[in-house]
């Protein structure tokens, strides 16, 4: 049976025999992972899981989507929100569903205390649009979507700087005036609207502004990755592929 004693012996012998380091890391992952959820398992440091600010923001967001286990993904979006809060520009999310990610970001950076910013939430709030889904969008039908407009609207109806926009991207994007964007989150589960959002907002993204592509590295979302890579190459920038499955893009 695997136990810490075996692991300790392997640790001492790491490097002395070929393959011992790989075996040690594999067994360590089986016996004592520091994180294992949402398609990611690791033995790396993840002290953010104990951070009171992270925990408060994560658990506050859970009332919108109970049972979510995507803590490292949320950590990435919280960092992106913190980074963007130090820039000049609004926050935008395209693909909101229940607003779990955006709510966590808002709580993490105390968005309601930032009087000069707005957070725009674009979604159909009832799932994907059939004629936007191409045969290459293999993961488009993986999730069931209920109508979440009332849930999201009522959750933020006391926040004048949080704007909930119901409609189809890209048509809905021009219905509000947004001059500058510091934070853009894209999670629409098919390539066409995601590319449209990138093309629409890129001129508005401030230098140093951050874009999170939620589906970038996930299996079945290769078409979304392909269009994001082609777009970023044309702009002279490159998407960073994260082990969480997300893509990170910073305008330089």
Boundaries of every domain in the chain: 4-42, 50-250
Residue 77: per-residue pLDDT: 98
Q: Mean pLDDT over residues 24-30, rounded?
A: 68
How far is the C-alpha of 211 from the C-alpha of 183, rounded, in Å?
6
Q: Is the pLDDT of residue 141 over 90?
A: no
pLDDT at residue number 9 = 54
DSSP 8-state secondary structure symbol assigned to residue 36:
E
CA distance 20 to 79: 36
181-196 average pLDDT score: 98
pLDDT band at 28 (very low <50, low <70, confident <90, very high): low
Give the predicted TM-score (pTM) of the model.
0.89
Residue 115 CB neighbour total at 10 angstroms = 7
- Taking the alpha carbons of 241, 70, 133, 186 in that order, is the dihedral positive or negative? negative
More confident site: 115 or 196: 196
Residue 227: HSE in the Cβ half-sphere, 13 Å Cα cutoff: 20
Q: What is the pLDDT of residues 197-229, one digit of tens each?
A: 999 999 999 999 999 999 999 999 999 999 999
Residue (of 79, 25, 32, 24) closest to 51 by Cα position: 79
Q: Band of the pLDDT at 7, cuts 50, 70, 90?
A: low
DSSP E strand stretches across the chain: 35-37, 40-42, 90-94, 119-123, 162-166, 181-186, 205-213, 240-241, 247-250
Q: What is the pLDDT of residues 168-179, one digit of tens each?
A: 999 999 999 999
- What is the number of other CB atoms lying within 10 angstroms of the CB of residue 130? 7
Three-state SS string over 15-60 comes to CCCCCHHHHHHHHHHHHCCCEEECCEEECCCCHHHHCHHHHHHHHH
Contacts of 102 (CB under 8 A, 6+ apart): 91, 93, 96, 119, 121, 185
- 238 and 225 in contact (C-beta within 8 Å)? no
Q: Which CATH number fits domain 50-250: 3.40.640.10, 3.30.830.10, 3.40.50.150, 1.20.1370.20?
A: 3.40.50.150
Q: What is the pLDDT of residue 115?
A: 87
Q: Are 242 and 218 in contact (CB under 8 A)?
A: no
Q: In sequence order, what are the beta bridge partners of 184?
A: 92, 211
pLDDT for residue 2 = 47
pLDDT tens track for 35-64: 999 999 998 999 999 999 999 999 999 999
| Residue that wins the pLDDT comparison between 245 and 29 | 245
pLDDT band at 32 (very low <50, low <70, confident <90, very high): confident
pLDDT in tens, 228-251: 999 999 999 999 999 999 999 999
Tell me which H or E stretch contains 223.
helix 222-235
Neighbours of 64 (CB within 10 A): 20
Q: pLDDT per residue over 75-124, tens digit each? A: 999 999 999 999 999 999 999 999 999 999 999 999 999 989 999 999 99
Residue 178's Cβ-side half-sphere holds a number of Cα atoms within 13 Å equal to 34
In the beta sheet, which residues pair with residue 212? 185, 248
* Cβ–Cβ under 8 Å, residues 163 and 173: no
Structure tokens belonging to residue 10: 């392997």
Residue 1, pLDDT score? 42
User: Does 24 score more than 90 pLDDT?
Assistant: no
pLDDT tops 80 at residue 128: yes
Task: Give me the pLDDT at residue 30, please.
Answer: 73
């Amino acid at each position: 049976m695997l136990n810490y004693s075996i692991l300790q012996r392997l640790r001492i012998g790491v490097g002395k025999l070929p393959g011992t380091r790989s075996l040690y890391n594999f067994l360590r992952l089986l016996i004592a992972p520091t994180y294992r959820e949402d398609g990611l398992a690791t033995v790396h440091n993840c002290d953010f899981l104990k951070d009171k600010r992270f925990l408060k923001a994560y658990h506050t967001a859970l009332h919108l989507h109970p049972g979510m286990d995507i803590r490292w993904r949320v950590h990435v979006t919280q960092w992106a929100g913190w980074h963007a809060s130090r820039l000049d520009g609004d926050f935008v999310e395209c693909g909101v569903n229940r607003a779990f990610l955006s709510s966590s970001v808002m709580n993490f950076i105390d968005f309601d205390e930032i009087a000069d910013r707005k957070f725009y939430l674009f979604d159909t709030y009832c799932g994907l649009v059939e004629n936007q889904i191409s045969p290459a969008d293999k993961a488009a039908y993986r999730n069931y979507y209920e109508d979440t407009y009332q849930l999201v609207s009522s959750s933020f109806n006391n926040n004048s700087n949080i704007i909930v926009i119901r409609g189809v991207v890209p048509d809905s994007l021009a219905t509000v005036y947004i001059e500058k964007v510091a934070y853009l989150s894209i999670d629409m589960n098919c390539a066409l609207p995601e590319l449209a959002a990138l093309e629409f907002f890129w001129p508005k993204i401030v230098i140093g502004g951050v874009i999170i592509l939620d589906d970038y590295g996930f299996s079945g979302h290769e078409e979304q990755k392909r269009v994001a890579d082609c777009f970023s190459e044309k702009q002279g920038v490159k998407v960073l592929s994260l082990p969480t499955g997300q893509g990170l893009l910073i305008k330089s």
